[in-house]
């Protein structure tokens, strides 16, 4: 996600959701853990002083507000859904950073490197618990149903992270497994964000399903685009060096597609070999992934998913303005200017 | 908790709850994480083969079943509450073992030492999420309300663990802070277990509150007794060496009481000193805690809490048989034969 947020829905997300998100953290968490998560969100520095940090872009909250509007309610009605989705997203970031040993996020030291892994584990736990509270406290007609959906998405996200770590140990990952993992890890929460506002306000079941399907497809398209950028992206736009995902031996979608294509023996031997890659290896592997059709396949698949997402919305009977904003946020997620 | 479970309520807990608990893990978790948590629960060995392990005593589930019966429903009606409480309990054990660096639980290697911390973090996350699903999937009249209560208790438990870790760094912990921490870390989930069955089936609010207050007091009494045993307990009964908690410099309740008593300068200097304790130090500290009134205070406080728990039940209008079983389980928790 490399674009600058200059989008109506994202602006609304920031102005409506961020104060509510801060309230939820203050209200649900004890002061020690509120401190850890405020740092993680970019609201404070390591000493607890207010920071002019740029937190996340609040893409998921923006989708959740649109979701309420799609069901003919106001954006304000979707705020608890937006907050809950963002809490779950940040729960997963806090824990994933520990598991993956990542030391930098959004240009700052990750929370576990500042406060220690125990505090970051507890902070994540507390955010997950808070998400449930925020939804159920609304007492809206769809509160219980929305909570079940959010927790089901969370469970898929957890499974996706487990699968992702499992893949690192394996040399026989199939494209189907990899797509499923991406759907769980990335698609599930985006799908939930797109549907949760409508579900919370008691929107029509068919509408909720269409919105979720839209988000699921956008999530897969995003993962494909992100994986393409991780190999062929321009460092100036992506913020990571070209070939970063190859160097890290990630089982990303273009790589797995090429590994499962015919005549992939050399790629297999190189990618699953025991030695660290030389720069020549990285170039050769990048070339082999492209020749093996990994790049073309991922581009076509991303286009297919984007088109499928469009179709999900097209027949949903959503007001034109809301429909347009959904498309704008999707375009932002996929790194295209709309 | 050093007694052998030969108790009607505990037996029922085991026969009714354990199969449902296994179903919930199988149904909600992906296979990789089901494997981690099945090992943690004692159902399988590290290779995934069925184990004749002794899992937990399922004290909290037994209380949750009694809770449903207290509201004039059947134990079977309380099963989802029992399962949910036990899932939350095991979520916290999985994560706490990582944070505390504990390598042995219930006589076996802890899950994070067998599967790695990342898998144990994810396994815990998945159990917490599953607890919500189990309650909301019942669609019972009290499902949303019970879920809010369970998550509120979970939030308190998380705060208690954060406070406990914070206390390790401090030399000015007050008795009030320490009691609050114990209430959060131990009392909250026991209180929830005692009330959740009744809340789930839509029991009377006053009854639910009385049951929760009973559990809260039992939880504090348990923590006081446990802290006493950690200093003066007989190793044959407690399974840990005498003075173990002193040696670990735990800010347990009798120690904090003595530290906050008059003339505690020598105890302060010793307990907060930089050097590892000699055996003579451990004996001297134990003596100073006793002279400072820590032992007497904790014993009296435990008795007060137990009596207060009794009073909560006495006026609740619960059937005699159920009342008697609540008392039996409480006695087991407090290590007394009833």
What is the rounded distance in angstroms from the CA atom of residue A109 to the CA atom of residue A125? 20
pLDDT at position B2 is: 40
Distance from CA of A34 to the nearest CA of B (A): 10
Inform me whether the C-beta atom of residue B322 falls under 8 Å from chain A C-beta atoms.
no
Q: Give the nearest chain A residue to B127 (CA atoms).
A: A155
The predicted-structure confidence for A284-307, as pLDDT tens digits, reads as follows 999 999 999 999 999 999 999 999
Cross-chain residue pair B33–A133, CB shorter than 8 Å = no
What is the rounded distance in angstroms from the CA atom of residue A242 to the CA atom of residue A236? 10
Cross-chain residue pair A32–B166, CB shorter than 8 Å = yes
Q: Which range among B243-247, B251-255, B280-284 shows the weakest confidence by mean pLDDT?
A: B243-247
Would you say residue A2 lies in a domain? no
Inform me whether the C-beta atom of residue A141 falls under 8 Å from chain B C-beta atoms.
no
Q: Give the nearest chain B residue to A25 (CA atoms).
A: B155
Show the domain range for B173.
8-333
Q: Partners of A104 in the beta sheet?
A: A109
Inform me whether the C-beta atom of residue B177 falls under 8 Å from chain A C-beta atoms.
no
Cross-chain residue pair A155–B28, CB shorter than 8 Å = yes
> Between B32, B98, B132, which is nearest A147 by CB?
B132
Is the per-residue pLDDT at B84 higher than 80? yes
SS3 B143: helix
Inform me whether the C-beta atom of residue A130 falls under 8 Å from chain B C-beta atoms.
yes
Inform me whether the C-beta atom of residue A8 falls under 8 Å from chain B C-beta atoms.
no
What is the rounded distance in angstroms from the CA atom of residue A88 to the CA atom of residue A14? 17
Positive or negative torsion for Cα A257, A258, A262, A268: negative
> Between B33, B154, B161, which is nearest A162 by CB?
B33
All residues of chain B having their beta carbon less than 8 Å from the beta carbon of residue A117 are 98-99, 117
Positive or negative torsion for Cα A248, A215, A2, A78: negative
Inform me whether the C-beta atom of residue B266 falls under 8 Å from chain A C-beta atoms.
no
pLDDT at position A242 is: 78
B288 vs B262, higher pLDDT: B288
Is the per-residue pLDDT at B3 higher than 60? no
Inform me whether the C-beta atom of residue A95 falls under 8 Å from chain B C-beta atoms.
yes
Question: Cβ distance B154 to B229 under 8 Å?
Answer: no
Distance from CA of A131 to the nearest CA of B (A): 10
The predicted-structure confidence for B206-233, as pLDDT tens digits, reads as follows 999 999 999 999 999 999 999 999 999 8
Inform me whether the C-beta atom of residue A155 falls under 8 Å from chain B C-beta atoms.
yes
Cross-chain residue pair A144–B144, CB shorter than 8 Å = yes
Question: Cβ distance B55 to B42 under 8 Å?
Answer: yes
pLDDT at position B236 is: 77
Distance from CA of A117 to the nearest CA of B (A): 8
pLDDT at position B268 is: 94
Cross-chain residue pair A125–B128, CB shorter than 8 Å = yes
Inform me whether the C-beta atom of residue B151 falls under 8 Å from chain A C-beta atoms.
yes
Nearest to A85 by CA among A9, A153, A37: A153
Is the per-residue pLDDT at B238 higher than 90? no
Here the tokens at position B313 are 């039940």
Inform me whether the C-beta atom of residue B141 falls under 8 Å from chain A C-beta atoms.
no
Cross-chain residue pair B155–A99, CB shorter than 8 Å = no
Mean predicted lDDT score pLDDT of chain A: 93
pLDDT at position B5 is: 43
Would you say residue B100 lies in a domain? yes
> Between A95, A126, A129, which is nearest B121 by CB?
A95
> Between B118, B137, B162, which is nearest A165 by CB?
B118
Inform me whether the C-beta atom of residue B117 falls under 8 Å from chain A C-beta atoms.
yes
Is the per-residue pLDDT at A53 higher than 70? no
> Between B118, B130, B163, which is nearest A99 by CB?
B118
- Name the phi and psi angles at B105, rounded to 5: -140, 135
The residue among B98, B116, B125 with the most chain A CBs within 10 A of its CB, best to mutate, is B125
What is the rounded distance in angstroms from the CA atom of residue A18 to the CA atom of residue A24? 10
The predicted-structure confidence for A72-119, as pLDDT tens digits, reads as follows 999 999 999 999 999 999 999 999 999 999 999 988 999 999 999 999
Cross-chain residue pair A158–B30, CB shorter than 8 Å = yes
Is the per-residue pLDDT at A265 higher than 90? yes
Q: Give the angle A143-A92-A32 at the CA atoms, nearest 5°.
A: 90
Question: Could you give the dihedral angle defined by the CA atoms of residues B197, B202, B205 and B211, in that order, rounded to the nearest 10 degrees?
Answer: -10
The residue among B25, B26, B30 with the most chain A CBs within 10 A of its CB, best to mutate, is B30
pLDDT at position A337 is: 41
**Residue B16's pLDDT band (boundaries 50, 70, 90)?**
very high
pLDDT at position A244 is: 83
Question: Cβ distance B148 to A133 under 8 Å?
Answer: yes
**Residue A323's pLDDT band (boundaries 50, 70, 90)?**
very high
Q: Give the nearest chain B residue to A145 (CA atoms).
A: B136
Nearest to B160 by CA among B95, B84, B248, B232: B95
Please count the structural domains in chain A.
1
With 0-12 / 13-18 / 19 or more C-beta atoms within 10 angstroms meaning exposed / middle / buried, residue A209 is: middle
- Name the phi and psi angles at A261, rounded to 5: -85, 170
Nearest to A189 by CA among B112, B129, B206: B129
SS3 B334: coil
List, in sequence order, the alpha helices (H) in A42-142. Answer: 59-70, 79-100, 111-115, 117-137
What is the CATH number for A110? 1.10.600.10
Distance from CA of A46 to the nearest CA of B (A): 17
The pLDDT of A120-130, averaged and rounded, is 98
The predicted-structure confidence for B185-200, as pLDDT tens digits, reads as follows 999 999 999 999 999 9
Q: Give the nearest chain B residue to A27 (CA atoms).
A: B155
Inform me whether the C-beta atom of residue B35 falls under 8 Å from chain A C-beta atoms.
no
Question: Cβ distance A228 to A299 under 8 Å?
Answer: yes
Q: Give the nearest chain A residue to B166 (CA atoms).
A: A32
Would you say residue A93 lies in a domain? yes
What is the rounded distance in angstroms from the CA atom of residue B86 to the CA atom of residue B92? 10
């Amino acid at each position: 996600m490399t674009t600058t947020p200059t989008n109506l829905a994202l602006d609304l997300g920031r102005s409506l959701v961020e104060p509510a998100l801060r309230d939820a953290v203050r209200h649900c968490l004890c002061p020690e853990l509120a401190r850890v998560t405020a740092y993680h969100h970019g609201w404070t520095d390591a000493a607890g002083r207010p920071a002019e940090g740029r937190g996340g872009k609040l893409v998921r909250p923006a989708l959740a507000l649109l979701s309420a509007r799609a069901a003919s309610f106001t954006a304000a009605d979707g705020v608890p859904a937006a907050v809950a989705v963002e809490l779950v997203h940040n729960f997963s970031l806090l824990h994933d950073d520990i598991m993956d040993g990542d030391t930098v996020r959004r240009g700052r030291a990750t929370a576990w490197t500042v406060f220690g892994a125990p505090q970051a584990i507890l902070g994540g736990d507390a955010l997950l618990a808070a998400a449930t509270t925020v939804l159920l406290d609304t007492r809206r007609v769809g509160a219980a149903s929305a909570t079940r959906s959010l927790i089901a998405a969370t469970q898929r996200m957890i499974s996706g992270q487990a699968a992702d770590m499992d893949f690192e140990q394996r040399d026989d990952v199939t494209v189907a497994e990899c797509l499923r993992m991406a759907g769980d890890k990335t698609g599930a929460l985006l799908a939930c964000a797109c549907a949760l506002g409508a579900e919370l306000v008691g929107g029509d079941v068919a509408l909720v399903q269409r919105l979720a399907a839209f988000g699921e497809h956008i999530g897969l398209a995003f993962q494909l685009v992100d994986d393409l950028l991780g190999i062929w992206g321009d460092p100036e736009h992506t913020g990571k060096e070209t070939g970063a995902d190859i160097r890290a031996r990630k089982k990303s979608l273009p790589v797995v597609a090429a590994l499962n294509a015919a005549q992939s023996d050399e790629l297999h031997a190189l990618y699953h070999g025991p030695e660290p890659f030389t720069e020549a290896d990285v170039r050769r592997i990048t070339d082999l992934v492209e020749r093996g059709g990994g790049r073309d396949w991922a581009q076509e698949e991303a286009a297919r998913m984007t088109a499928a997402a469009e179709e999900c919305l097209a027949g949903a009977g959503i007001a034109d303005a809301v429909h347009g904003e959904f498309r704008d946020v999707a375009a932002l997620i996929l790194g295209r200017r709309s």
